[in-house]
Amino acid sequence: MAGIFKKILNASKPRKFCSVIVAAAGSSARMGGEDKLLKEIHGIPVLARTLRTLEDSTRVDEIIVAVRQDSLVTIADLCKRYVLTKRVKLVTGGATRAESVLRATMEVDARAELIAVQDGARPFASIELVDRVIEAAQRFDAAAPALPVKDTIKVAEGNVVRQTPDRKTLFAVQTPQAFNADILKAALQSAVNDGVEVTDDCAAVERLGKQIYLTDGAEENIKITTPFDLVVADAIISGGLAI
C-alpha cells in the first residue's frame, strides 16, 4: 500500500484542525484488574507514551482523553508530570467505547473539522503513522491504519468452522482512526441510539454506509491488553523498534 498512499498524501490539501480523542476508559479486565494504562514500559507509563506521540505530532491540535471517573485525578497528574503543552482535556467515559468516544466528541474545539481516535493502550504509534492517517482522512473523510493478516482466519460457530475467508481480503485494523468530525459524531450517536456495540470507530462509520480508506499500519503498533503484551512491548523497545 505504501506507493499508493505516498501519492495520496502528496495530493493533500492544506491541513484542517484535528482533535484527537484518546480512548482510556476501559476496565483493563484482561490485565487482571490492574490499570494497563499506568503499567510502565522501560519506566514510562503506557498512556504517557501514547500522549507524548500525539504531543509531538504537528497534525494534532488538541487532545481529549476519555477516562473512568475513578481515574480522573490519576490521569490529570500523569499529564502534568509529562509536561504536555498542547491543550489536553479529560472527560468521563461511558459504559461502552462508543459512549465514551461520543462524550469526548462533544468536547472538541469548534474549529475541529477532523477527529481522530487513538487507543490509550497503543504506546508505539509513531508520529509518522499518526500524521499519515490524519492526512488520509482529510482527503477521504475516513481512514485507518491496517496490516494484512498473516494467519488463516476461520469463521466458526460452536467450535465448528463455517467458513474460511480469503486471507488476501483481510486486514488487522489499528488506531488512530481519523474521520470528518460530523461523520464521526453522527455515526457514534446512531450506534449508541440503536444499542449497537462496536469494537472500533470505523465500524460505527461503516454502519452509515461510509467507506473507510486503509493506510499502512505498523507491526510495532500493538495494543496493550494482557500481561504478555507488556513482554512484547519490552522487546520492541529493547530491539530498537520504538523509543
Residue pLDDT, tens place only, 17-57: 999 999 999 888 888 878 999 999 999 999 999 999 999 99
Q: Please report where in the chains the cell 473523510 appears, as a residue.
A: 141
Domains and CATH numbers, the chain: 2-142+175-230 (3.90.550.10)
Grid coordinates belonging to 34: 490492574
CA dihedral 7, 13, 15, 18 (to 10 degrees): -80
Rounded Cα distance, 67 and 27, in Å: 10
Q: What is the pTM of this model?
A: 0.92
Rounded Cα distance, 30 and 124, in Å: 20
CA 96 from chain centre, in angstroms, equals 15
**How many other CB atoms are there within 10 angstroms of residue 239's CB atom?**
9
Which DSSP letter does residue 7 get? H
Residue 217, pLDDT > 90, answer yes
Residue 145, pLDDT > 90, answer yes
